[in-house]
């Protein structure tokens, strides 16, 4: 465990392994850097791989910060580590941070790959993202009760029946069980972020190569929302993983790694 303290005083847990061009992995809501273990092990022979725990997750500290604030802290970390030519891989809510990091370092972010991620994660008129605002608020209120139990139910909902019946899901549960629970205050705060944060006006200005991977049965990152993204991007590819939900990199590791590596090397 290596800690970095940002200018705002927030402690981030990070790991940096391998050699070569840098890959920055950003996990999503209620996750941790350990969720990327299979990707780190696969890619560290050819790339330098940087993973972080987001605020209130894993071993990082907590204070209320927006995706833009986190991106500013990550830009500071990248400069502290003397890194350049960054490739960013982001899951779910982590994509909001990736978009903001590109705003901070547009000449240093070479390409971005998103899995289960969108520039806006909640529904809006004319935009069919999968998260309903009332359901977001209900989940936040439920966290005030049996927090660990509700979080477990929510986590299971992110996977398909096919995934939950697989041997891979047993490993996923072991990885999650080894993690510290995300801080309740942090998750409630980030649910407010997920409800309101909107970066759709940023996406058409991004000219670096983009990749959007979604599980075919992902109810959050819907095909309709990605159709909107396709209409507003210039240099993006779209990949769909069959029989998968919101976090396919955890359950269909070989196929996800293949798609990611193909994008990184293309």
Residue 130: per-residue pLDDT: 79
DSSP string for residues in 73-131: HHHHHHHHTT--SEEEEEETTHHHHHHHHHHH-TTTEEEEEEES--S--B-BTTB--SB
Residue 126: per-residue pLDDT: 86
Residue 172: per-residue pLDDT: 94
Residue 208: per-residue pLDDT: 97
- Whichever domain contains 66, its CATH number is 3.40.50.1820
**Within its chain, how far is the Cα of 59 from the centroid?**
17
Mean pLDDT of successive 10-residue segments in the chain (266 residues)? Answer: 95 97 98 97 97 98 98 98 96 98 96 98 88 94 97 97 96 93 98 97 94 97 94 95 98 98 96
Residue 105: per-residue pLDDT: 97
In terms of pTM, does the model score above 0.85? yes
DSSP string for residues in 194-216: HHH---HHHHTT--S-EEEEEET
Selection from 189, 196, 18, 207 nearest residue 112 by Cα: 207
Range of the domain at 159: 2-265
Give me the number of domains the chain comprises. Answer: 1
Rounded Cα distance between 139 and 144, Å, is 9
| Neighbour-count burial for 207-223, b at 16+ CB within 10 Å, e otherwise | ebbbbbbbbebbebbbe
Rounded Cα distance between 157 and 200, Å, is 26
DSSP letter at 34? G
């Amino acid at each position: 465990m290596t800690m970095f303290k940002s200018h705002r005083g927030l402690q981030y847990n990070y790991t940096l392994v391998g050699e070569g061009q840098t890959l920055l992995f950003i996990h999503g809501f209620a996750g941790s850097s350990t969720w990327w273990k299979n990707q780190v092990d696969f890619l560290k022979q050819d790339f330098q791989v940087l993973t972080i725990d987001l605020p209130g997750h894993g071993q990082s500290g907590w204070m209320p910060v927006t995706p833009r604030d986190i991106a500013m802290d990550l830009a500071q970390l990248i400069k502290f580590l003397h890194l350049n030519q960054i490739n960013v891989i982001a899951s779910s809510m982590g994509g909001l941070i990736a978009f903001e990091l590109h705003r901070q370092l547009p000449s240093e972010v070479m390409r971005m790959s998103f899995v289960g991620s969108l520039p806006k994660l909640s529904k809006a008129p004319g935009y069919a993202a999968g998260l309903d605002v009332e359901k977001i608020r209900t989940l936040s209120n439920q966290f005030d009760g049996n927090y660990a139990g509700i979080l477990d139910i929510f986590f299971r909902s992110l996977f398909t029946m096919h995934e939950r019946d697989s041997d891979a899901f047993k490993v996923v549960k072991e990885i999650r069980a080894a993690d510290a629970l995300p801080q309740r205050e942090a998750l409630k705060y980030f649910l407010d972020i997920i409800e309101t944060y909107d970066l759709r006006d940023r996406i058409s200005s991004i000219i670096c190569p983009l990749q959007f991977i979604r599980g075919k049965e992902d109810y959050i990152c819907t095909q309709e929302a990605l159709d909107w993204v396709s209409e507003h991007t210039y240099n993006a590819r779209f990949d769909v993983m069959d029989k998968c939900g919101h976090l396919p990199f955890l359950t269909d590791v070989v196929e996800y790694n293949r798609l990611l590596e193909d994008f990184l090397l293309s």
